[in-house]
Amino acid sequence: MCFMIMKIKGLNFLILTAAMAHKSFQPIVLVHGGAGDIPDSRVSAKLDGVCRAARKGYEILQKTGSVLDGIVAAVELMEDEPAFNAGKGSVLTLEGNIEMEALICEGKNLKSGAVTLVKNIAHPISLARRVMVETPHAFLGGEAVNEFAARMGVPTVPDDYLFTSAAQAALDHFKQAKSIPSKMEIGEVGVGTVGSVAIDAAGHMASATSTGGITGKYNGRIGDTPLLGCGGYADDERGTVSTTGHGETIMRYNLAQRILADIASGKSAQEGTKDQCEGMTKRLNNTGGAITISSRGEVGVFFTSKRMAWAYQLGDELHYGIEHGQHLVDKV
């Protein structure tokens, strides 16, 4: 609570100015590069990608003051990186197609935009942002997304731009092994979904998640990523979350929303993230992970998969890790 002294007609008035009472937060852009059985051979590319994305997102947040600009910059960088399962490097459906999905949410007005079954677009996350900003809707899917992209002047990219030999190898492996699409990262060729959450100095928050889905999925399969409360959520009164892992499991469990409910009930960001990832795996026998920032400005990172790359910049420190219990800090 703040007080202000005002002089009116020679008299001093003590005025309570609740509106002026604001808390200040340390801005953070936190990112993940997907939960899964990430093989040793892919650890350094993942770490390098998440560290660059966290720094880029933080730089843009500091420059523009917009959490949305920060998370979109971070996610776009990872969509451009073939080391991740989003944009370029997306995994393939059983028929060998790329069908991408993305969700963006902002916590001040609870606005959101989502896209699914997107083809030939380099940055699905930017398209999701346009759905949020430019349409009366929160979710567009299928061919309509590409029609919308064309109306917005968003250029398409050829199939070759998005396809990678690693995604093809993952599909070949999937077919040989007669797998069911429940593991996010298969052998030496797996890749990962990307996500970012951020808070600005005023406590405004946002979340962004982008994915190619899971290797060997049916054409037309929609996962957790574009679904509110599953792939992500942001509410300035609770916190912001981006999730990754087996989509059918995450959507059945409502992972993002459960983490925020824990935070609302008083748990720290780390406790809520850990308890709900573990609870989901115990209950539904599939792995996942999440990154969280609470409305108190705390960071939460947890995963029940073998690995998940994550990173965030806080002032002049870069925090990052990929193994369980690993938390490295470098000066930037």
Which residue of 113, 192, 229, 232 would you call a contact of ligand ASP, by CB under 6 A?
A: 192
223 binds ligand ASP (CB under 6 A): yes
**Facing residues of 115 across strands?**
102, 140
Interatomic CA distance for residues 148 and 154, integer angstroms: 9
290 binds ligand ASP (CB under 6 A): no
Provide the token pair at 129: 């942002």
Sole binder of ligand ASP in the list 164, 211, 254, 292 (CB under 6 A)? 211
Closer to ligand ASP by Cβ: residue 193 or 313: 193
Burial category of 314 from C-beta neighbours within 10 Å (exposed 0-12, middle 13-18, buried 19 and up)? middle
Report if residue 112 touches ligand ASP, rule: CB under 6 A: no
CA gap 272, 257 in Å, rounded: 11
Q: Using CB under 6 A as the criterion, what x/- string covers residues 231-250 for binding ligand ASP?
A: -------------xxxx--x
Confirm or reject binding of residue 190 to ligand ASP (CB under 6 A). Answer: no
By C-beta, is 242 or 294 nearer to ligand ASP?
242
**By Cβ distance, which residue is nearest to ligand ASP?**
247
CB nearer to ligand ASP: give 192 or 272: 192
Cα Rg, the chain, nearest whole Å:
20
Quote the strand ranges of the chain, DSSP E. 3-8, 11-16, 28-36, 100-106, 111-118, 139-141, 194-199, 205-211, 232-235, 239-245, 288-294, 299-303, 307-314, 317-321, 328-331
Give the single-character DSSP code of 54: H
Give the shortest CB-224-to-ligand ASP separation in angstroms: 5
Find out whether 257 and 263 touch, Cβ atoms under 8 Å.
no
Task: Give the burial class of 182: count Cβ atoms within 10 A of its Cβ; 0-12 exposed, 13-18 middle, 19 or more buried.
Answer: middle
Q: Which of 93, 164, 193, 225 is catalytic?
A: 193
Question: For residue 90, what are its two tokens?
Answer: 């997306």
193 is known as an active-site residue: yes
The answer to the question of residue 214 lying near ligand ASP (CB under 6 A) is: yes
Of these, 27, 32, 33, 34, which contacts ligand ASP (CB under 6 A)?
Answer: 34
Which residue, 27 or 247, has its beta carbon nearer to ligand ASP? 247
**How many whole angstroms separate alpha carbon 261 and alpha carbon 255?**
10
Q: Which is nearer to ligand ASP, 112 or 243 (CB)?
A: 243
Binding residue for ligand ASP, selected from 57, 107, 113, 213, defined by CB under 6 A: 213
Q: 149 or 194: whose CB is closer to ligand ASP?
A: 194
Of residues 114 through 173, those in contact with ligand ASP by CB under 6 A are none
Written as one string, the DSSP assignment of 192-225 is B-EEEEEE-TT--EEEEEEE---TTBPTT---ST
Q: Tell whether residue 28 is a contact of ligand ASP (CB under 6 A).
A: no
58 vs 310, which CB is nearer to ligand ASP?
310
Q: Report in angstroms how near the CB of residue 34 gets to ligand ASP at its nearest.
A: 5
193 touches ligand ASP by CB under 6 A: yes
- State how beta strands 28-36 and 194-199 pair: antiparallel
- Residue among 203, 202, 197, 238 nearest 58 (CA): 197
CB of 133 to ligand ASP, least distance (A): 24
Parallel, antiparallel or unpaired: strands 111-118 and 139-141: parallel
Which range of residues in 13-21, 41-49, 132-140, 222-230 is near ligand ASP by CB under 6 A?
222-230
Q: Which residues bind ligand ASP (CB under 6 A)?
A: 34, 85, 184, 192-193, 211, 213-214, 223-225, 244-247, 250
Q: Could you list the active site residues? A: 193
